[in-house]
A = this chain, B = another copy of it.
Amino acid sequence: MNYQNLLSSINVTFETLNKSEKKVASAILADPEAATGSSIANLAKKAGVSEPSVNRFCKRFGTAGFPDFKLKLAQCLVSGVKFVNSNVQLNDNVSKYTPKIFDNAIHDLVAIKNQIDLSLVEKVVDQLLSARRIFFFGLGTSGAVARDAENKFFRFDLPVSFHVDVLTMRMLSAAAKPGDLFFMISHTGRTKAIIDAADDAQANGARVVGLTTPGSMLAKKSNFALEVSVSENTEEYMAMTSRIVHLVILDVLATGFILRKGPDFLNHMEKINRSLKPTRYKNN
Residues of A bordering B, CB below 8 Å = 36-37, 67-68, 70-71, 74-75, 77-79, 88, 90, 92, 94-95, 97-99, 101-103, 105-106, 109-110, 112-113, 116, 118-119, 121-122, 125, 139-141, 143-145, 147-148, 151-152, 155, 188, 190-193, 195, 217, 235, 237-238, 240, 243-244, 247-248, 251-252, 254-256, 258-259, 263, 269, 273, 276, 279-284
**Are B113 and A102 interface neighbours, CB within 8 A?**
yes
Most chain B CB atoms below 10 A, which of A247, A273, A282? A247
Instruction: Tell me whether A281 and B190 are in contact in the complex, defined as CB-CB below 8 angstroms, given that A109-B105, A248-B105, A248-B244 are known contacts.
Output: yes
Partner of A144, one of B95, B148, B240: B148
Asked if residues B152 and A143 are in contact (CB atoms below 8 Å), the reply is no
Q: Which residue of B lies closest to A98 (CB)?
A: B252
Cβ A98 vs Cβ B116 within 8 A: yes
How far is the CB of A170 from the nearest CB of chain B, in Å? Answer: 14
Contact partners of A121 in chain B: CB under 8 A? 94, 98
The answer to whether B106 and A255 have CB atoms under 8 Å apart is no
Separation of A95 and B114 alpha carbons in the complex (Å) = 11
A137 to B254 CA separation, bound complex (whole angstroms): 25
Neighbouring B residues of A269 by C-beta, 8 Å = 237-238
Interface contacts beyond A88-B259, A103-B113: sample of 6 additional A-B pairs, CB < 8 Å, sorted by A: A78-B110, A79-B79, A94-B118, A102-B109, A105-B109, A188-B280
- Name the distance in Å between A3's Cβ and chain B's nearest Cβ: 9
